[in-house]
Structure 1
Amino acid sequence: MPLLLLVAGSAAVAAAARRTPAPAPLLLVAVGLAVSYIPGVPSYTLDPHVVLPLLLPPLLYTSASDSSYLDLRAQLRPVALLSVGYVLFATVVVGWAAYLLVPGLSLPAALVLGAVVAPPDAVAATAVARRVGLPSRITTILQGESLLNDATAITAYKVALGAAVGEGATWAGGIGEFALAAVGGVGIGLVLMAPLHWLRTHLTEPLLQNTLSLLIPFVAYGVAEQAHASGVLAVVVVALYLGHRAWEVDFATRLQEEAVWKMVAFVLESAVFALIGLQLPIVLKRLGEYEGSSAVWYAVAVFVVVVVARFVWVYPATFLPRLLSARIREREENPTWRGAMVTSWAGMRGVVSLAIAFAIPSTMADGPRNLILFLTFTTVIGTLVVQGVTLPPLIRLLRFPGRDRQAETLAEANAQAQASRAAEARLDELLSDERNALPPPLADRLRTVLERRRNAVWERLGQVNPVTGESVDDTYRRLSREMIGAEREVFVRLRDLRYIDDEMLRALLRRLDLEEAAAYREAG
């Protein structure tokens, strides 16, 4: 029952957030904080053994499969500088600052804190980027960073934790462990991606294909972790490959898969942010000896260091490579200070940091362990509240150039024209064979469908309706829905009159649903 309440409540809040200017992650966290103090609300402890292997893989998978492999490859250098360089830099800077600020906190324990709060969260970055409509290059960099940085942070955390609990971790051992995790995770992903894609393309039943799709992130993560490699990198590599080759999968599978993964991502993202807010009572109970104003001071100081450290890294990492390399200047577009500003400010932390903090074993002394948990929680909440609230107005203030819809539509129309010419040539070739003979009306129907698809994009470049103010897209969708709605009413009436049965009604309605979806996509 507590799990059902969590899922239902978080989904309701996320749905309500769509009708408000507040970002859904922030509203979910705020409601979670408020609900956590209502008497009788069950305790939702963030179990790292559940979050990391059960929640992280599907969230990474859906985000990576929706990303562009080609765009990420084009932005590999800035993504690597953030996902590896920045995480290690933030680990050291935050750890050293905490070591200087907090009396009695050892340097290894402080570095554990640095590693825990170093990675911006994939869920938070994707949710905010989707909501505010960041420029495509910045969105690609942030998504790429958030997909890969967890592997760096988890490895750095393990090394620092080993030193903090007296397991004799060394820098050489840490570098070796990082190399094993990175190379092993990528290697396992490369090994798994081709067989998994083969299975996806050879299963003929869409339900089986989608069942496999739901299992893939857990398989990749589990195999990699069993081999002491990075499950995060394995999932990302597999998801990028499968997303890049998704066109080879049956159309029915793609339609179902898109709907299934949208639902999974919505439920999990909503539950994750609600869980963050619900952790406050648990965190405060464990604070112990660090209660009082000193804990507040430590929280503010760590938050400021986390925010400032990102600026200190991002600006040099953005402009220095271009200044030092003529090849980069020739091959890459000129970065702007506005892009660096948004990249620096879009550093929200999330559930992964909290899950890692809750995973700190009891072998670490209670005082440092509880303080790390508290400072992680305040940093996550602080970045979500301060940066999550101010990022949209910051983007508006910086006045990024909007997307050129006219140019995009022209590019789409040209692509469709080329594809239509190829399809028309193939149709002529097929109809010239006696085995493919069709009555003229059916052959004309194929040509009509092709012509409608070719012309649909060009028609979107037309003017708005002077009477209604609707665009061509909106009018097309509205008329199509009205026509299909009239057909649905007739089918339902015939079913009620027992002229057709429910099985036939479902078949007819599915046909109309596909027609409506096609009309929506053609106009959109």
Structure 2
Amino acid sequence: MDVMPLLLLVAGSAAIAAAGRRLPVPAPLLLVAVGLAVSYVPGVPDYTLDPHIVLPLLLPPLLHTAATDSSYLDLRAQLRPVALLSVGYVLFATFVVGAAVYLIVPGLPLTAALVLGAVVAPPDAVAATAVARRVGLPNRITTILQGESLVNDATAITAFRVALAAAVGEGATWAGGVVEFLIAAVGGVGVGLVLMVPLHWLRTHVKEALLQNTLSLLIPFAAYAVAEQVHASGVLAVVVVALCLGHRAWEVDFATRLQEDAVWKMVAFVLESSVFALIGLQLPVVLEGLGDYEGIDAAWYAVAVFLVVAVARFVWVFPATYLPRLSARVRAREGELSWRGPFVISWAGMRGVVSLAIAFSIPLTVHGGEPFPERNLILFLTFTTVIGTLVVQGVTLPPLIRLLQFPAHDVQVETLAEANAQAQASRAAEQRLHDLLADERNALPTPLADRLRAVLERRRNAVWERLGQVNPVTGESVDDTYRRLSREMIGAEREVFVRLRDGRYIDDEMLRTLLRRLDLEEAAAYRETT
């Protein structure tokens, strides 16, 4: 097995993604563009998407990272719009795109057109998450987009299987498709809930952080494989497990959380970068064998499908948003709703690698041995739709959001809420410390007891200080200055430890121990600002 193409893909996409962070162009779009360009460089190997690799090996960790970064409580609060998008919209898009392609492309059977409709129906989890991170959407819109992208793949894969069975002559019916969807959905959720119990028990009882992180990396693959083994939705199983474990992550050892956060950020960065680069690299593979549909006809079909996909989302989102609000109870619970939110949700429907992977899983022949009708055209239209949504919608979405002028986050209100929460927690910790020190078994010298109280006091005051005055020279708050000075002091200690190691006064093992202690102190001193 030649691993060099894989190494080149990972290294190249990571380098481009890193460069993209310093450019005004979003990294996903830069990766797709470079992939398109590189695909025609002589000597570059063909990177054909294998659905047997993409779906079970790339999709689970991407879904896992997106789900663990999501809020179970926020998703539950937005359950109706998320369900309408992840289930209702996907099925609607499947039928609308399928019917439109059936009318536009002469000689294409309706079943094959519906296969294409199911393939391009689901917006991509990676694309939605990347856009939400970059443009700073309001929390409610971000929650809805993330929730939709977590579940819609399950709906699309099931719809695709039903349409594909009809296209290849397996005699599938829509009634049977509904039953299959319900079994897959209920089964996937059930598998996720069942696996959650032993997995959470392991996470709270295995104390070795290294083993914990190994388990964490295996969880999405295990959940997906178990669910698919019993013909349930692996996508839903992964999402349910990740949401539940993420909701209870506070029960896991702190060292595990520190390592896990770093590990999954690295995994997500590598996979997301590679996925977008792979999309661009598919062009030569997709164009092979396009046959009678080359040139003007193929371009017209591509533009038509893109327009149908874009318009169909508006046609679904606005009625699905406003019709439930005819209920006075819904209006009272959700308050006033601006048209800007549904508009952005309608435009933020980028497709991604899942659509391409599903398309590549279309068999070459039907049951009678004849070629699958217009398989290459379906691949081409899937590719152009993915590229079109990523480029057109991905490029225009950030300026669109700025143009619509969504209300900015109220930093003062958020900081005040954080300060109040910290004050309540500090009071509880102070009472706990008082009770512990009253027990003679916990006797401490006065300087150490005072140090515990000082750390507690520092945490309590830090957030309030962000609401106060800033340094007129540097523009820093008292809290920011404290953190900067703390970092400088820790840096000075590190230099001494390294100098002592280089002078052979301490060995490397002791150096790692001392540096780990400083790393934890620095992690405790600095809140994450990105």
Which of the five TM-score ranges fits, normalised by the shorter chain?
A: over 0.9
How far, CA to CA, are the matches of 2:99 and 2:439 in structure 1?
76
Counterpart of 2:239 in structure 1: which amino acid?
V
Partner residue of 2:146? Answer: 143
Residues matched between the structures, number: 523
Decide which of 317, 321, 340 is 1:338's aligned counterpart. 340
Is structure 2 residue 70 aligned with structure 1 residue 64?
A: no
Q: Which residue of 2 aligns with 1:395?
A: 401
Q: Distance in 1 between matches of 2:520 and 2:261?
A: 14
Q: Which deviates the most, 491-500 or 42-51?
A: 491-500
Provide the residue aligned with 2:374 in structure 1: 368
User: Could you tell me which residue of structure 2 aligns to residue 207 of structure 1?
Assistant: 210
| Pick aligned residue for 2:496 from 490, 506, 510 | 490
Paired position in structure 1 for 2:112: 109
Confirm or deny: 8 A CA contact 2:112 2:373 kept in the other structure.
no
Contact 1:88/1:153 (<8 A) preserved: yes
Q: Deviations over 1:221-244 (max 9, x none)?
A: 000001111000000000000000
Aligned partner of 1:483: which letter?
A: M
Q: Hey, which bits of structure 1, 4+ residues long, moved more than 6 A?
A: none
Aligned to 1:158: 161
Please tell me whether the aligned partners of residues 60 and 235 of structure 2 are also in contact (alpha carbons under 8 angstroms): yes
Partner of 1:23: 26
- Helix, strand or coil at the partner of 2:362: coil
Secondary structure at 2:143's aligned position in 1? helix
Other-structure match for 2:311: 308
8 Å CA contact 2:469, 2:477 repeated in 1: yes
Gaps of 5+ in 1: none
Q: Which amino acid aligns with 2:193?
A: L
Match of 1:406 in 2: 412
Gap change, CA 1:522 and 1:57, over 3 Å in 2: closer
Partner Cα separation in structure 2 for residue 271 and residue 523 of structure 1 = 26
Q: Give the counterpart letter for 2:265 in structure 1.
A: K
Output the CA distance in 2 between the equivalents of 1:167 and 1:299. 29
Would you say the 8 A contact 1:83–1:146 is kept in 2?
yes
Please list the CA deviations of residues 409-464 of structure 1 after superposition, one character each: whole Å capped at 9, or x if unmatched.
00000000000000011111111111111111111111011001101111111232
What is the aligned partner in structure 1 of residue 178 from structure 2?
175
Shift of 1:289: 2.1
Aligned equivalent of 2:37: 34
Q: Distance between the aligned counterparts of 1:74 and 1:275, measured in 2?
A: 35
What SS does structure 1 have at the residue aligned with 2:374? helix
Are positions 1:128 and 2:131 aligned together?
Answer: yes
CA-based RMSD of the aligned residues comes to: 1.1
Q: TM-score, normalised by structure 1?
A: 0.98
- Matched letter for residue 106 of structure 1: P
CA contact (8 A) 1:460 1:523 kept: no
After TM superposition, the score normalised by the length of structure 2 is 0.97
- Does residue 1:433 correspond to 2:436, yes or no? no
Deviates more, 1:486-495 or 1:15-24: 486-495
Tell me the amino acid that sits aligned with residue 155 of structure 1. T
- Give how far 1:511 is off: 1.1
Unaligned runs of 5+ in 2: none
Moved more, 271-280 or 490-499: 490-499
In structure 2, what is the Cα distance between the partners aligned to 1:47 and 1:522? 38
Superposed CA deviations along residues 127-183 of structure 1, whole A, max 9, x for unmatched, are 010011000000000000000000000000011111111111101111111011101
Deviations 1:200-223 (A, max 9, x none): 111111111110000000010000
Q: Choose the corresponding residue for 2:459, options 453, 474, 497.
A: 453
- Provide Cα deviations, 1:74-115, integer angstroms capped at 9, x if missing partner: 000000000000000000000000000000001110000000
1:91 aligns with 2:91: no
Distance 1:207 1:363 in 2: 47
Q: 1:421 aligns with which of 424, 427, 439?
A: 427
The 3-state SS of whatever aligns with 1:521 is: coil
The 3 A distance-change label for structure 1 pair 29 and 523 is closer
Q: For 1:8-59, what per-residue CA distance to the aligned partner results, in whole angstroms no more than 9, with x for missing partners? A: 0000000000001111110000000000000000111100000000000000
Distance between the aligned counterparts of 2:529 and 2:169, measured in 1?
63
Query: Aligned AA for 1:363?
Result: T
Q: Percent identity?
A: 85
Q: Does the aligned pair in 2 maintain the 1:290–1:367 contact within 8 Å?
A: no
| Alpha-carbon distance between aligned partners in 1 of 2:234 and 2:206, rounded to the nearest angstrom | 26
CA distance in 2, matches of 1:411, 1:19: 33
